[in-house]
Chain A
């Protein structure tokens, strides 16, 4: 991705709204996420024609239709692979991938991890509602163990993925979490993702008010946030709580633990460093909560620089062309050639 463009014209949210009626269920968390994305692009002064939104299948995957940008609504799970083609072909574009937990961690899990490990220049927004909404209520690969759903009337027996842990394990260079109840936080994370060069993975906790209502209420409700959300701020000790009385420290095994500051003292708190080359500490932070029932870190877990895939492909193309562009005749005559004359 080239330098962040700015245009002299001040843009508004409506510049990124398409003429299509938004058709998510009334009250769906996706509305707020869509709005945040549109407002982020407007604030950034991004060129609409340089934004490409790629999606797979699922409720979240309808996202591109509502954006006044270039969009491709693909097939289930394949958005990261389609987006890889766009990003490698055109490093000048900003390529966004929008999908849900089923799309990106079940049917498309393979493409998600490979896009992240390659560090393709993508902004991946994974809208996690811990349920299959479009197919009307089956458990998903991020649903909690024991989930009662249409396909698991006796409770699911599958251990869920922790998407942040997976992304870190897949060598993602930018990993963040946000939630649909906090527009400013979402916009801050989307902006960081936009500005990051390489794969940016953002998990967005999103409420499905029809099939999994209130899944995140225990941590994202206004009166819960200070005690249940752990803000990750680069360079600062990690602390939270109504009176900022709790914090996070690493134990002797390198595991992250929630502690009372009164017990351990402020000096023992982990100072968050999103730029650490080694993802071990970021991973430890991702293990603080196994689901939205425990204090949960929000913000940027990891933001490191690594050459992105499209850039390296481009580099090889340029190096190969240093001796001049390809010559077709020379190519096809690169094996021994003989001439047969007319008799």
Chain B
């Protein structure tokens, strides 16, 4: 036992730590994780988060199926992933312990709510013996705390009933972890005061629980000493913490401003995309109209109607919704109207894993429509990148009068990171003019008379005198837009529509390419594997090996220089959270023998998995000889 009596023991400085909060889905673990994240972000740490919650709103309490978890990685240097394995697991019940233990690093710290380890609790979690005393946790540092009873005790003075007081135990856990990692306390207290202002008793109970957790860490001898993770040296700028769906929503609002067009969102609620509908519904002062449609098809159909009428039609969904919207996307391709289709990918097929992440809609986005129906595809790589990707999607849709699919996924949609906010004044003007005058010498308007450079057709909106015209999904004559069943015309139109999209390759930046001089191995990625691939490559480079990294924001068309980049390398490795989709496109397009690294577990790659794949590929090259 320590004899140190000073209120503050020595603080050990760490470079980084990964913590996971896990409990029953009603235990408030997401909220707890959010508080820890926000305060750490403001404190100046770099961070990344990954929530993990069950698909059922309330699976039976105390069961493994009902466990909700939140992982946060904080550090004093740039980090790109929520971390492979937590060093600290806060487990509010046996189910949370059982569901998460296998991820914790060897020797990691387990903070468990000892009050919830009754025989009944253990049984519900599927334990046949108590892990706290059957020796199965040897190798971990187990800290048992009766969090429930301490929370109830702490809030006794507030007059709140024990049953309600018990609900504040997540704040006790938060307080304890705050002490462990010397986080600033005041922001949480003022957050609780604001959040629960209307319910003084609950407010008081939460503050008391939080402080009790802090004090428990301070006064007990369970911990040797607290830790500190100093602020990271991030690029200068103004920062906030943001998750992908929020950044995407802001990107759409910004794009509307930059395009000088009102945003019209037609959407049907679906996990994990609904938060974009929620967010955009708040911003009517930006002229944003949101329609919660009767179904997925109505959502996109209304968005197409809005685009025809001169607004920026947007629809948001996930894989099952994309299936349903396919026919309407084909219509928008045929009408040649701007439209944004946002797919927050989740595990499939069918209902699949609604709350888990996957990248398995790439080929759906690319080919999931009947007929020759190409459209541009862009993908976001991190939560904050969703902001820029949204603007890019809108730029392409408007300039080329085409639907654009934006691919995000459940991981970046709900994951958060510090966002260095852009200089808004430096964002591009992406507005395009409506046509207001006839475009033929004889004073007639042809809706399909194309711009020679972009091949885009004119956009004349209802209400414009003299430009009345009819468009539709039946094949139309190039130029006049009149219905045409002429076979040569169909050939011409199919090629024109394809050329219009292919030409976009000349209007996008070259491939994002982090070279280090070697020509042995290129890791090529898209979407949310960016961070983990980058981190894996960094680790391999530290070992003295040369690896390059290329990442695609544009999936259709590919950047014009992609073929040249790929051909420089002996081996191209493509990690994807699917069974190999980009790799098929790359092989088909460039005849490059790209290799696939796949994972389809509903969770992102761990850094070591990609690191290992790189090492294996390099060793295979070594074996083959230079």
Tell me the minimal C-beta distance from B74 to chain A in angstroms. Answer: 14
Residues of B within 8 A of A72 (CB): 305, 308, 335, 470-472
Residues of B within 8 A of A324 (CB): 285
Q: Are A88 and B302 CB-contacts (below 8 A) given A75-B331, A332-B250, A333-B240? A: yes
When chains A and B are docked, how far (Å) is the Cα of A7 from the Cα of B149?
A: 79
Cβ 8 A contact of B41, one of A87, A88, A317, A338: A338
Is B291 in contact with A84, judged by CB distance below 8 angstroms?
yes
Taking CB atoms and an 8 Å cut-off, the chain B residues in 461-487 that contact chain A are 462-474, 482-483
When chains A and B are docked, how far (Å) is the Cα of A316 from the Cα of B236?
A: 39
Interface SS majority for chain B: mixed
Cβ 8 A contact of B294, one of A48, A64, A110: A110
Q: Does B38 contact A (CB under 8 A)?
A: yes
When chains A and B are docked, how far (Å) is the Cα of A290 from the Cα of B458?
A: 48
Tell me the minimal C-beta distance from B71 to chain A in angstroms. Answer: 20
Is A65 in contact with B240, judged by CB distance below 8 angstroms?
no
Q: Which of A89-97, A185-193, A219-227 contacts B (4 or more CB under 8 A)?
A: A89-97
List the 9 shortest-distance A-B pairs measured between CB atoms, nearest first.
Answer: A85-B305, A73-B472, A85-B302, A326-B286, A71-B470, A81-B301, A320-B284, A81-B298, A70-B462
User: 19 interchain pairs (CB within 8 A)?
Assistant: A54-B305, A67-B470, A70-B462, A71-B470, A72-B308, A75-B328, A75-B330, A81-B298, A84-B302, A86-B306, A86-B309, A87-B305, A88-B264, A111-B294, A114-B298, A313-B289, A317-B289, A336-B38, A337-B239
When chains A and B are docked, how far (Å) is the Cα of A72 from the Cα of B301?
A: 12
When chains A and B are docked, how far (Å) is the Cα of A72 from the Cα of B472?
A: 5
Tell me the minimal C-beta distance from A30 to chain B in angstroms. Answer: 16
Tell me the minimal C-beta distance from B43 to chain A in angstroms. Answer: 8
Residues of A within 8 A of B262 (CB): 89
B positions within 8 Å CB-CB of A? 38, 41-42, 44, 187, 233-242, 250, 253-254, 257, 262, 264, 266, 283-287, 289, 291, 293-295, 297-298, 301-311, 313, 327-328, 330-331, 335, 421, 424, 462-474, 482-483
Residues of A within 8 A of B328 (CB): 75, 78
Tell me the minimal C-beta distance from A131 to chain B in angstroms. Answer: 22
Q: Does A9 contact B (CB under 8 A)?
A: no
Q: Does A251 contact B (CB under 8 A)?
A: no
Cβ 8 A contact of A335, one of B235, B241, B305, B483: B241
Residues of A within 8 A of B42 (CB): 336, 338
Residues of A within 8 A of B335 (CB): 72
Is A81 in contact with B305, judged by CB distance below 8 angstroms?
yes
Is B468 in contact with A48, judged by CB distance below 8 angstroms?
yes
Is A325 in contact with B285, judged by CB distance below 8 angstroms?
yes
When chains A and B are docked, how far (Å) is the Cα of A110 from the Cα of B482?
A: 30
When chains A and B are docked, how far (Å) is the Cα of A284 from the Cα of B282?
A: 42
Is B466 in contact with A49, judged by CB distance below 8 angstroms?
yes
A positions within 8 Å CB-CB of B? 18, 20, 47-50, 52-54, 64-65, 67-75, 78, 81-90, 92-93, 110-111, 114, 313, 316-317, 319-321, 323-326, 328-329, 331-333, 335-343
Cβ 8 A contact of A328, one of B253, B306, B309: B253
Is B304 in contact with A85, judged by CB distance below 8 angstroms?
yes
When chains A and B are docked, how far (Å) is the Cα of A20 from the Cα of B466?
A: 17
Is B297 in contact with A340, judged by CB distance below 8 angstroms?
no
- Most A CB contacts (10 A, CB to CB) among B235, B237, B302, B482 go to B302
A-B contact count (CB 8 A): 208
Tell me the minimal C-beta distance from B293 to chain A in angstroms. Answer: 7
- Most A CB contacts (10 A, CB to CB) among B283, B304, B307, B327 go to B304
Residues of B within 8 A of A111 (CB): 294, 297-298, 301
Cβ 8 A contact of A114, one of B289, B294, B303, B308: B294
Is A82 in contact with B302, judged by CB distance below 8 angstroms?
yes
Known: A70-B462, A70-B470, A320-B285. 5 other contacts (CB 8 A): A49-B462, A85-B309, A86-B309, A331-B286, A338-B41
When chains A and B are docked, how far (Å) is the Cα of A291 from the Cα of B418?
A: 65
Kindly report which residue of chain B lies nearest to residue A319, judged by CB atoms: B284
When chains A and B are docked, how far (Å) is the Cα of A237 from the Cα of B482?
A: 50
When chains A and B are docked, how far (Å) is the Cα of A152 from the Cα of B320?
A: 33
Residues of A within 8 A of B237 (CB): 339-340
Q: Are A336 and B284 CB-contacts (below 8 A) given A50-B462, A75-B331? A: no
Cβ 8 A contact of A326, one of B253, B291, B306, B308: B253
Cβ 8 A contact of B241, one of A87, A321, A336: A336
When chains A and B are docked, how far (Å) is the Cα of A86 from the Cα of B240?
A: 37
Cβ 8 A contact of A340, one of B234, B285, B482: B234
Is B462 in contact with A93, judged by CB distance below 8 angstroms?
yes
Residues of A within 8 A of B297 (CB): 78, 81, 111
When chains A and B are docked, how far (Å) is the Cα of A280 from the Cα of B68?
A: 50
Residues of B within 8 A of A82 (CB): 301-302, 304-305, 308
When chains A and B are docked, how far (Å) is the Cα of A71 from the Cα of B242?
A: 42
When chains A and B are docked, how far (Å) is the Cα of A294 from the Cα of B336?
A: 48
Is A49 in contact with B305, judged by CB distance below 8 angstroms?
no
Residues of A within 8 A of B254 (CB): 328, 332
Cβ 8 A contact of A65, one of B295, B465, B472: B472
When chains A and B are docked, how far (Å) is the Cα of A230 from the Cα of B331?
A: 42
Q: Are A73 and B285 CB-contacts (below 8 A) given A86-B308, A89-B311, A340-B239? A: no
Is A328 in contact with B285, judged by CB distance below 8 angstroms?
no
When chains A and B are docked, how far (Å) is the Cα of A70 from the Cα of B311?
A: 16
